[in-house]
Structure 1
Amino acid sequence: MSSAIGTLVERKARMVRRPHPPRRDGETLHEALKARMADFPPVLLRPITWDQGTETGRHLEIAETLNAKIYVYDSRLAWQRGSNENTNGLLRDYFPQGTDFSVHGPEHLLAVEHALNNRPRRVLEDRPPADLFNALLASESQSGLRP
């Protein structure tokens, strides 16, 4: 299947961003990430945990574009990307394994992202990621957001 969506999870608030490249290749992923992360505060982009798919082969160029460090995890050690794996599990409520994402428009994918970001999480003491994220952005000091 050639369709895909990415999973980016900010670690402190568990805010989710879902880039949706129309194809599974490095250049298309790079463009989708740039577009989807353009309004994201740079302090929250460090580091990005990356898997080892062929579409992620341009990680050095993407790291430079986003001004973020990228850590490539060992595919046999899924615990190295626990937040992403948990978020992917939550996404199964909306998209079963093997879903063809090419049939879902950007509006639907953004609606699912919005639902995830407004869904209370036990790990956040039953607060939704969007509330915590907005509170962090509004605080005078974002130093707590750095890894």
Structure 2
Amino acid sequence: QTKACVATFIERKSRFYIILPMVDRSSHSMEHAIRTLYSSFPSGTFQTMTTDRGKEFSCHERIQDSLGIPMYFADPYSSWQRGSNENANGLLREFFPKGTNFGMINKTELDYALSRINNRPRKCLAWKTAYEVFSEEVLRLI
């Protein structure tokens, strides 16, 4: 039996963290999550993607071809190449331990965790929140 999971994305400049539920770890589910993310924000919000080498990213060529987003892959065992995402995933684990079946987590619980992560002031953002910095950047695109 496959457990529901989440796709996590982080915008590097603002450290804005986005979580999208997935029914499983298939490339079909990941492609759906990426397309949902891409269509939820103004054009130009996301210009590249760096992923790990999981099988769920086997959809990378379709994504690159249809959305025009270059996708890069971190080297094996080099999680530091995706440090912002790894750090944010660690923050998420404060709410949901590793192995959590996200099919049992409701949207309110997920939204609460995401809000707590994105609304904490960060030294690297001059004590602004990821939400504030991301919002300022996206408003420049419209």
After TM superposition, the score normalised by the length of structure 2 is: 0.87
4+ residue runs of structure 1 moved beyond 3 angstroms?
A: none
Deviations 1:86-136 (A, max 9, x none): 111111111112211110123332332222211212221221111111222
Quick one: structure 1 residues 46 and 2, their matched pair in 2 at CA, closer, same or farther if it must change by over 3 Å? same
Segments of 5+ residues of structure 1 without an aligned counterpart are: 143-147
**Residue aligning to 1:23:** 24
Quick one: structure 1 residues 4 and 65, their matched pair in 2 at CA, closer, same or farther if it must change by over 3 Å? farther
Contact 1:45 1:66 in 2 (8 A): no
Once residues 81 and 65 of structure 1 are traced to their aligned partners in structure 2, the CA distance between those partners, rounded to angstroms, is 24
Answer 1 or 2: which has greater strand percent. Answer: 2
Q: Give the drift of 1:49.
A: 0.6
Q: Give the drift of 1:10.
A: 0.5
**Residue aligning to 1:145:** none
Once residues 110 and 75 of structure 1 are traced to their aligned partners in structure 2, the CA distance between those partners, rounded to angstroms, is 31
Contact 2:7 2:33 in 1 (8 A): no
**Residue aligning to 2:77:** 76
RMSD, aligned α-carbons: 1.8
Quick one: structure 1 residues 112 and 58, their matched pair in 2 at CA, closer, same or farther if it must change by over 3 Å? same
**Residue aligning to 2:53:** 52
Identical amino acids, percent of aligned pairs? 31
Contact 1:34 1:65 in 2 (8 A): no
Contact 1:9 1:17 in 2 (8 A): yes
Q: Give the drift of 1:62.
A: 2.1
Structure 2 counterparts to residues 1-147 of structure 1, below 5 A: 2-139=3-140
Q: Give the drift of 1:11.
A: 0.8
Deviations 1:23-80 (A, max 9, x none): 1101111112222331223323121111111111111112334331110111211111
Once residues 19 and 123 of structure 2 are traced to their aligned partners in structure 1, the CA distance between those partners, rounded to angstroms, is 21
Once residues 64 and 15 of structure 1 are traced to their aligned partners in structure 2, the CA distance between those partners, rounded to angstroms, is 25
Segments of 5+ residues of structure 2 without an aligned counterpart are: none
Contact 2:64 2:71 in 1 (8 A): yes
Quick one: structure 1 residues 81 and 134, their matched pair in 2 at CA, closer, same or farther if it must change by over 3 Å? same
Aligned length: 140
Quick one: structure 1 residues 44 and 138, their matched pair in 2 at CA, closer, same or farther if it must change by over 3 Å? closer
Contact 1:59 1:70 in 2 (8 A): yes
The residue type paired with residue 32 of structure 1 is A
